Amino acid sequence: MLPESLPRPAAITPDAYATRRTALMARLPADAAVIMPGASLVTRSKDSEFAFRQNSDFHYLTGIVEPDALLLLLPGRDAGEAVVFCQDRDPLWEAWTGRRLGAAGMVAEHGVDEAFENAERESQLAALLEGREQLYVAFDDPEAMALAEQTYAAATGGRRGLPPVSGFHDVSPLIHAMRQRKTPDELALMRHAGEISARAHSRIMRACRPGLFEYQLQAELEHEFVWQGGSGPAYSTIVGGGANACVLHYVENSAPLNDGDLVLIDAGAEFDLYAGDITRTFPVSGRFTAPQRELYDVVLKALENAVAAIGPGATLNGIHQNVVRDMTAGLIELGLLSGSVDERVADSSYRRFYLHATSHWLGLDVHDVGNYRRADGTPLPLEPGMVLTVEPGLYIPDAEDIPEAYRATGIRIEDDVAVTADGHEVLTAGVPKQAADIEALMANQ
């Protein structure tokens, strides 16, 4: 039987993209120009390419899905502030690689003010950049920097000489601060990415049994992502059975799944470029052993306490400190650490078992953009619209000083959480995480 199809949420409208461009330009001086290239196709091998993935900042400001586009934002320009260069219309290329919107299509479908095809870049750029002394470019994007420098040199070279370096500014912090606070239309897409991801995880809980290979669970997950209209995984899917769960970014997914082991799955769908990011850990056979359950419940309790505390004013740093304390208390209770919670937190010995941060921002990128601290170095307080993950994990080494029943066990549980005006919304609640609920789902299939 084919899986059920979920309704698709509304796409972000051209007007919404225009509102973002206007908000960005409102923060720029009158003589500014933003120069932002979109992504290009990347060769996979010989003449085949990786699937196209638009640059997230470019997407955020335009919604344009074609490669090799360039956005100029020119505040105050009478003939139009948002100008796009795009692939040339070319019937022969379009017969091979698909329809290109061309300049007229970019204006009609994406609501930019003016568009040119790339063949006109050289002849148009000089005039467009006339009088623009402050160039805003993504400093962490070498291609964007090179293009901006060449563009500016070409535009100004013969007439005014090269600009002083002080004329270049990093546009990224301005855009990333906007991206950090999601609007309701973005949250609808993220809710959908979370829901698809949760359905995929539920699906593999039902499918799992000893003797399957890790890649077969990956195939089940990714089928659901694409079936529901996602582009695929938002990052490389991790399916780690047994000791493989202790490798944080295990992506080989090649081993058989063994009776008696846990399997850790970290996978999320990308939908309209927004990421879901879920981890669940469950027994291959459908039943936790008692020691597995003891460890599992330490992680689960830390996650539940952390999520309960999320709301405006909380900080990622505070969430992490509480998770560290909860997990350290659990490790002491199980005899994996000794002494007091304060002592073991102070000497960082918990890090033998929990070595990563609890949260990261989530959005168009799985490890999304945005500051974690304010300019004065203090942790940034959460605000409505921010979306974060909560992902405590315990990774118990295969070491002689560890009770055998706990050795080589990796457990992580991860949910995606949006901050709301009065608390939070868990975007990935659709897949169980209580041990008893997981066992019930796996038993009923």
Residues annotated as catalytic are 47, 249, 266, 277, 356, 360, 367, 391, 395, 412, 414
Q: How near is the Cβ of 443 to ligand GLY at its closest, in Å?
A: 28
Q: For residues 416 and 414, what is the distance between their CA atoms, to the nearest angstrom?
A: 7
Residue 394 beta carbon to ligand GLY: minimum distance, rounded to whole angstroms = 15
One symbol per residue from 199 to 238: x for binding ligand GLY (CB under 6 A), - otherwise; what is it?
A: ------------------------------------x---
Task: For Mn ion, give the closer residue by CB, 81 or 368.
Answer: 368
Residue 179 contact among ligand GLY, Mn ion, none, beta carbon within 5 to 8 Å by kind: none
CA–CA separation, 398 and 245 (whole Å): 12
Report which secondary-structure segment, H or E, holds 198.
helix 184-207
E-assigned strands of 259-335?
262-267, 269-271, 274-275, 278-283
Per rule CB under 6 A, count of chain residues that contact ligand GLY: 7
Interacting residues of 116 by C-beta distance below 8 A, sequence separation 6+: 83, 84, 85, 86, 103, 124
CA 14 – CA 51 distance, rounded (Å):
24
Question: H or E segment at 169?
Answer: strand 168-170
Which residues between 373 and 412 bind ligand GLY (CB under 6 A)? 391
Task: Write the binding mask 347 to 366 for ligand GLY: x where contact by CB under 6 A, - elsewhere.
Answer: -------------x-----x
Burial 227-242 (b: 16+ CB within 10 A, else e): bbbbeebbbebbbbbb
Q: Measuring CA to CA, which residue among 112, 116, 153, 152 is closest to residue 136?
A: 152
Best CA proximity match to 357, nearest among 302, 320, 395? 320
Burial class (CB in 10 A: 0-12, 13-18, 19+), 63: buried
Choose the contact partner of 54 out of ligand GLY, Mn ion, none; CB within 5 to 8 A by kind.
none
Minimum distance, C-beta of residue 414 to Mn ion, in the bound complex (Å): 5
Cα 188 from Cα 184, distance rounded (Å): 6
Whole-angstrom distance, CA of residue 9 vs CA of residue 185: 9
Find residue 35's DSSP bridge partners. Answer: 72
Tell me, residue by residue from 407 to 436, as one string, x for binding to ligand GLY by CB under 6 A and - for no binding. -------x----------------------
In 369-443, at which residue ranges do the beta strands (DSSP E only) sit? 387-390, 393-396, 409-412, 415-420, 423-426
Asked if 417 and 305 count as a contact pair (C-beta separation under 8 A), the reply is no
Q: Which of 84, 32, 78 minimizes the C-alpha distance to 54?
A: 84
Alpha carbons 114 and 75: distance in angstroms, whole number: 13
Nearer to ligand GLY, 215 or 235 (CB): 235
Map residue 429 onto helix, strand or coil.
coil
Report residue 144 CA to chain centroid gap.
Answer: 21
CA 142, 147, 150, 154: dihedral to nearest 10 degrees? -170
Q: Which residues are near Mn ion by CB under 5 A? A: 266, 277, 279, 389, 414
CB of 363 to ligand GLY, least distance (A): 13
Task: Map residue 84 onto helix, strand or coil.
Answer: strand
Contact call for residue 266 and ligand GLY (CB under 6 A): yes
Residues 65 and 87: their CA atoms lie apart, in Å, by: 11
235 binds, among Mn ion, ligand GLY, none (CB under 5 to 8 A by kind): ligand GLY
Judged by beta carbon distances under 5 to 8 A according to partner kind, the member of ligand GLY, Mn ion, none in contact with residue 442 is none
Give me the least distance between CB of 158 and Mn ion, in Å please: 50
Binding site for ligand GLY (CB under 6 A): 235, 266, 277, 360, 366, 391, 414
